[in-house]
Amino acid sequence: MTKIITRSFFVLGLAAIAAYGFSCNPIQSLQDKASEKVAEGLLGQATGGKVDLSEDGTAVTYKDNKTGDTVAYGENVKIPDDFPKDASIYPGSKATNVSISRDADKGAVAILTTEDAVAKVMDWYKNEFKSWEETQNMTINGTEYREYQKGNKKVSFNISSETTDGKSTTAIMITYGEDNPAPSEE
């Protein structure tokens, strides 16, 4: 999971530099597609993976060629089809970060935002995980943290609210992981 986070910050930094370059171009409408492909190619070479910048410059997706791991950042990132179904995505929320580890860890992380209140989001998740064992439950300074387990699967989430310019936004960070069963002794 650490390698996903490390790559995430690296790719995010590169994407920010590329996006800044696009916004400074006075003839952007003529060069957008070519610039996007060049930036994707350069970033792909630098990272050893496949980089995809959205056409509007609001999102970047990185896929590691060796492991298949993916990281995506942006204003409204698409949740990949292979994102674990047990890591329930809050209805109507927008994803700003999605990471999937496809190696032995089989982990995933999504950061979501919604205009719904923390209490409403918490009630939805409590209902969503009512058949799972709740292994941790904390509330610290208005941030709700829960962890659930079912078999070898673990799901945890943090839910917090932030008010900026009089507008409240609720952030949800959901983390999914699978414990690998111990190797059998023969």
Q: What is the pLDDT of residues 51-80, one digit of tens each?
A: 666 666 667 777 877 777 888 888 878 888
For residues 1 and 85, state if they share a domain: no
For residues 160 and 93, state if they share a domain: yes
- pLDDT the model gives residue 19: 46
CA distance 162 to 85: 27
Identify the sign of the CA torsion 8, 10, 11, 17: positive
For residues 135 and 173, state if they share a domain: yes
138 has which bridge partners?
Answer: 145
Residue 150 is part of a domain; what is its CATH number? Answer: 3.30.2030
For residues 86 and 137, state if they share a domain: yes
For residues 101 and 139, state if they share a domain: yes
- pLDDT the model gives residue 68: 77
For residues 167 and 113, state if they share a domain: yes
Count the domains in the chain.
2
Higher-pLDDT residue of 44, 156: 156
Report the predicted TM-score, pTM, of the whole model to 2 decimal places.
0.69
- pLDDT the model gives residue 80: 86
Would residue 31 count as lying in a domain? Answer: yes
For residues 89 and 152, state if they share a domain: yes
For residues 14 and 89, state if they share a domain: no
For residues 7 and 95, state if they share a domain: no
For residues 52 and 97, state if they share a domain: no
Mean pLDDT over each residue of the chain, to the nearest integer: 75
- pLDDT the model gives residue 31: 44
For residues 95 and 181, state if they share a domain: yes
Would residue 5 count as lying in a domain? Answer: yes
Cα–Cα separations (whole angstroms), residue 140 to 112, 137, 143, 145, 154? 19, 10, 5, 8, 21
Would residue 113 count as lying in a domain? Answer: yes
Would residue 66 count as lying in a domain? Answer: no
Would residue 65 count as lying in a domain? Answer: no
Mean pLDDT on 12-34? 44
For residues 99 and 131, state if they share a domain: yes
10 is in which domain, residue-wise? 1-59
Mean pLDDT on 116-142? 94
Would residue 89 count as lying in a domain? Answer: yes
Q: Check residue 11 and report its DSSP letter.
A: H
